[in-house]
């Protein structure tokens, strides 16, 4: 297919672009680069040996979205673009609603006008809020706890209403948990701007000597070692999940699907695994819990296998090993253009 990928220069987006190219799809990427890196797409081209059309722009620009869909002959959309930092969403909710919700409305209006009705939406497990049961199944109540999660839930509601109004749309909403790792080449990976808000890049920067120690938020949870536990997913597994979802849309319908491993690892599990693959100590200090953090959160991923034939294949050590390779080869992230 010819696919328009919004936010394709981001962490999950760039890995998905590489997997899409490997499967023979043709891509147009639109990104405003507020979180993504244009260099990531250059490396995707070099790794794949295939061209990627890259357009700098914003999904809020409906005229641009319309022209890209028409002129490039796109047949489907994978929608990653949006602001994602939970803390920032609490301090500046207006930006998140404007970018994430209004931007998605502009994109969907352009798709409707161009009769492009296949979309995979990058949602999040944050739509579930505090787990009422584990593992989390897709029929779990939806109760987002922060503005970021609420914007994802509003977009999901919009897509559900859109499909109810017109079943010619084919929609997949993918809820994933904690993306980690990097491509096995070490040439594309996660390059957070500023202080990392996710666990794995912070651990990697401690291992590499860029930060003194890891702060672990809470050591008295009812888990096997007292630290919070989560469902960590290798980013390439997630990328393959998006490929499987977009290809499944040929059959039509609407899906709301978890992408996860079904296994929960604690923070200390992650620390020990990273120490094993890096051969370096990870100093840490356990501090008070953060408000709102759940003790445990992990997915029931069985529906993804039923609907798309997808399941996560990469384990914890591979996640850490691939991320460490990326960190070693790119200590300055995409600012190092030699990779």
Question: At 245, phi and psi to the nearest 5?
Answer: -70, -45
Task: Select which of 128, 148, 221, 265 is catalytic.
Answer: 148
3-state secondary structure the chain: CEEEEECCCCHHHHHHHHHHHHCCCEEEEEECCCCCCHHHHHHHHHHHCCCCEEEECCCCCHHHHHHHHHHCCCCEEEECCCCCCHHHHHHCHHHHHHHHHHHHHHHHHHHHHCCCCEEEEECCHHHHCCCCCCCECCCCCCCCCCHHHHHHHHHHHHHHHHHHHCCCCEEEEEEECEEECCCCCCCCCCCCCCCCCCHHHHHHHHHCCCCCCEEEECCCCCCCCCCCEECEEEHHHHHHHHHHHHHHHHHCEEEEEEECCCCCEEHHHHHHHHHHHHCCCCCEEEECCCCCCCCEECECCHHHHHHHCCCCCCCHHHHHHHHHHHHHHCCCHHHCCCC
Q: Which position has the token pair 């409305």?
A: 105
Check if 148 is active-site: yes
Cis peptide before 135 (omega within 30 of 0): yes
Chain-centroid distance of CA 161 in Å reads 24
For the annotated catalytic residues, the residue numbers are: 148
């Amino acid at each position: 297919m010819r696919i328009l990928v919004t936010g394709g220069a981001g962490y999950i987006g760039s890995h998905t672009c590489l997997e899409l190219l490997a499967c023979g799809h043709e891509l147009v990427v639109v990104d405003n680069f507020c979180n993504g890196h244009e260099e990531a797409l250059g490396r995707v081209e070099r790794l794949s040996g295939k061209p990627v059309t890259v357009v700098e722009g914003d999904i809020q620009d409906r005229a641009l979205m319309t022209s890209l869909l028409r002129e490039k002959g796109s047949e489907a959309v994978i929608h990653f673009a949006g602001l994602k930092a939970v803390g920032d969403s609490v301090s500046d909710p207006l930006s998140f609603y404007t970018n994430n919700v209004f931007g998605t409305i502009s994109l969907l209006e352009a798709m409707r006008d161009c009769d492009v009705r296949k979309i995979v939406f990058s949602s999040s497990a944050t739509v579930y809020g505090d787990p009422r049961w584990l593992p989390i199944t897709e029929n779990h109540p939806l109760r987002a706890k922060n503005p970021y999660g609420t914007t994802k839930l509003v977009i999901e509601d919009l897509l559900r209403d859109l499909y109810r109004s017109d079943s010619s749309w084919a929609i997949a909403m993918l809820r994933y948990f904690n993306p980690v790792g990097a491509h096995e080449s070490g040439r594309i990976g996660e390059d957070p701007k500023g202080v990392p808000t996710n666990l794995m890049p912070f651990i990697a920067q401690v291992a590499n000597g860029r930060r003194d120690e890891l702060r672990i938020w809470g050591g008295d949870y009812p888990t096997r070692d007292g630290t919070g536990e989560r469902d960590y997913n290798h980013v390439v597994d997630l990328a393959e999940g998006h490929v499987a979802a977009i290809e499944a849309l040929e059959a039509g319908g609407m899906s709301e699907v978890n992408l996860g491993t079904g296994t929960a690892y604690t923070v200390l599990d992650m620390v020990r695994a990273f120490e094993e693959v890096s051969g370096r100590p990870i100093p840490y200090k356990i501090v008070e819990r953060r408000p709102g953090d759940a003790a445990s959160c992990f997915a029931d991923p069985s529906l993804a296998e039923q609907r798309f034939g997808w399941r996560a294949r990469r384990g914890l050590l591979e996640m850490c090993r691939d991320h460490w390779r990326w960190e070693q080869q790119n200590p300055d992230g995409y600012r190092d253009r030699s990779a």
